[in-house]
A and B are shown apart, each in its own frame.
Chain A
Amino acid sequence: MFEAWLGRMGAPVALLGVVGLIAFFAFPYDLGFLTRILIMMIFVLSIDLVLGYGGIATLGQAAMYGTGAYAAGLFAVHISANPLLGLLIGAGAGAGVAFLSGLIVLRAHGLGLLMLTIAVAQILHEIANKARVVTGGADGLSGIRMAPLFGRWHFDFIGQTGYLYALAVLVLVMVFLRALCVAPLGLTARGIHESPVRMAAIGVPVYGRRVLIYTIAGGLAGLAGALSAQVTALVSLQVFSFSLSAEAVVMLILGGTGRLWGAIFGTAIFMVIHHLAATADPYNWLFVIGILLLGVVYFIPGGLMGVRQRLRILFGGQG
């Protein structure tokens, strides 16, 4: 029973871990960049849960990411340098903000909802900016020194520990999300996405479930923020920026919404292209991304993960 579960759930995720390890050895000098990709993947996964599965329109997921980053950063500076505790704090803070803001913003729908999610992130941005004494304001929060992971592995300059740490967290998040997606709550999220009206008619307290999903995803976003604070030892106001939320949504659409692997691939492709294009031509890299996105939206509306499905339909056999 457990082995069967492991076979179904474990194998693809194990593959993710293996690919991550290969990258670790193949690009030893780019670990900083690769770590950012891994963290971004967690963040984009959190948006996939909200937007792709729950159908909740958001452009403000950075609110939870930023809260997690500041919470973990402040926790490390003032209370404990234990990285795992810091992660929990970051996730808890992200979930808390998602829950409280969700109670309000999820009363709205469509464009109104979209605006409110942006507003929440903007408000937090302003608070972090004004509360200089606590957050360091525009200078950012510095002075974060993490204790060694499990008291053994130091966060080194090349970023080896940071990379493997982020990879491990990503794999765990992926295992969690794959289990969640096939659990009753995962089906509920898809049902709400398909038809909130019908969900209400079969007795589902739709608003409450939306808040629950938003809160779980907020926890994951907070986790990503906390990771970033710990690995880079810095938190800047950027963590609350609109562009962070928006870029992450673009990555998700690129890869395909409502599919966990869509978030993974979309993030990897976006960030690698961004990296290469920005190195080749610092001024026009957005052009490349724009064209890519246009192409995807026009020709493969399901995102890159939709390609597989399309091919399957093309070459006979059913999805």
Chain B
Amino acid sequence: MPVGLGVGLQLRGLCKSFGGLAVAQDLNLDLPPGARTALIGPNGAGKSTLAQLITGCLVPDQGMVMLDGVDLAAVSQAARVKRGIAKTFQITTLFAGLSLRENLRLAVQEQRGQGARWFGRADRCPEVEEIIEFQLARFGLLGLADQMVGRLAYGQQRLVELALTLCLQPRVLVLDEPAAGVPMGEIPMIVEALEGLPKNLAVLLIDHDMDLVFRLAQHIVVMVAGTILAQGTPAEIATNATVQRLYLGEAFDA
């Protein structure tokens, strides 16, 4: 049995700069199975960059991303997905011209290693369709299955972001502002979906919405200018003077 089995995702000394701008400076973080960790911080703090370092979309200047004790430096973005690391996008990035069902089918067929097949109909694989139905049902999207995704309401598209990513059956899930731009009225829909995530999934939730964060997270990491300013339980963060002054000020005064 590999040494690190079950320790989940570990970040060690991650550094990344864009030109002279250091957006990640010696970042360390543990995300064991079942974790519900939130990453908060002002715009430009480097949260999305960190998410991309985890998925392999960006390459760190220094430091390591490890899954179950294995360094992922040489593992491509595509291969990381197959090992169970998946991310949703802050800015909705879907296959707008395809139907909702086709969107999910792309994820499922790839996850099952069928994406390069020349033969057989993509829509006639019962195992694939079963997973699609399951995810559609979980997010209450069954009625929209045959709609073109580009025509869906924004809040619905955010749900598709989640459904598409969960079709990959991840073990580590990075959610980059899942409620970004969603109208107030539709946020409960997202919260409900997030609360229903599999228990043993490791979740890193990046968000601005404090209600969402305090509702879902067991552990909160505060990031400012590429560094981790503070971390702790929601109660600790809520009472942390520096954090309050720097970041939570208005939200808690109100």
Q: How many of chain A's residues touch chain B, expressed as a range?
A: 20 to 34
Contact between chains at A191 and B95 (CB < 8 Å): yes
Q: Which residues of B contact A186 (CB under 8 A)?
A: 122
Among A182, A183, A185, A205: residue with most chain B CB under 10 A? A183
User: How far does the Cβ of A229 sit from chain B's closest Cβ, in whole Å?
Assistant: 26
Q: How many A-B residue pairs have CB under 8 A?
A: 99
Contact between chains at A191 and B93 (CB < 8 Å): no
CA distance A186 to B82 in the complex (A): 21
Taking the complex as formed, is A115 at the interface, i.e. its CB lies under 8 A from any CB of chain B? no
Q: Which residues of B contact A197 (CB under 8 A)?
A: 93
Contact between chains at B121 and A183 (CB < 8 Å): yes
Contact between chains at A198 and B95 (CB < 8 Å): yes
Contact between chains at A203 and B82 (CB < 8 Å): yes
Closest to B109 in A: A184
Contact flags B145-180 to A (C-beta < 8 A → 1, else 0): 000000000000000000011011000000000000
Taking the complex as formed, is B44 at the interface, i.e. its CB lies under 8 A from any CB of chain A? no
Taking the complex as formed, is A200 at the interface, i.e. its CB lies under 8 A from any CB of chain B? yes
Contact between chains at B96 and A203 (CB < 8 Å): no
Contact between chains at B115 and A185 (CB < 8 Å): yes
Taking the complex as formed, is B107 at the interface, i.e. its CB lies under 8 A from any CB of chain A? yes
Contact between chains at A202 and B106 (CB < 8 Å): yes
CA distance A180 to B80 in the complex (A): 28
Tell me which of B87, B96, B118 contacts A183 (CB under 8 A).
B118
Give the interface segment out of B7-15, B97-105, B223-231, B237-245. Answer: B97-105
Contact between chains at A201 and B96 (CB < 8 Å): no
Closest to A213 in B: B116
With A182-B122, A190-B98, A191-B95 as known contacts, state yes or no: A205 contacts B55, CB within 8 Å: no
User: How far does the Cβ of B49 sit from chain A's closest Cβ, in whole Å?
Assistant: 15
**A contact set with B: CB distance below 8 Å:** 179-180, 182-188, 190-191, 194-195, 197-206, 209, 212, 216
Going nearest first, the 6 A-B pairs with the smallest beta carbon separation are A203-B81, A194-B95, A184-B117, A184-B122, A202-B107, A187-B122
**B contact set with A: CB distance below 8 Å:** 55, 57, 76-82, 86-87, 89, 93-98, 102, 105-107, 109-111, 114-123, 164-165, 167-168
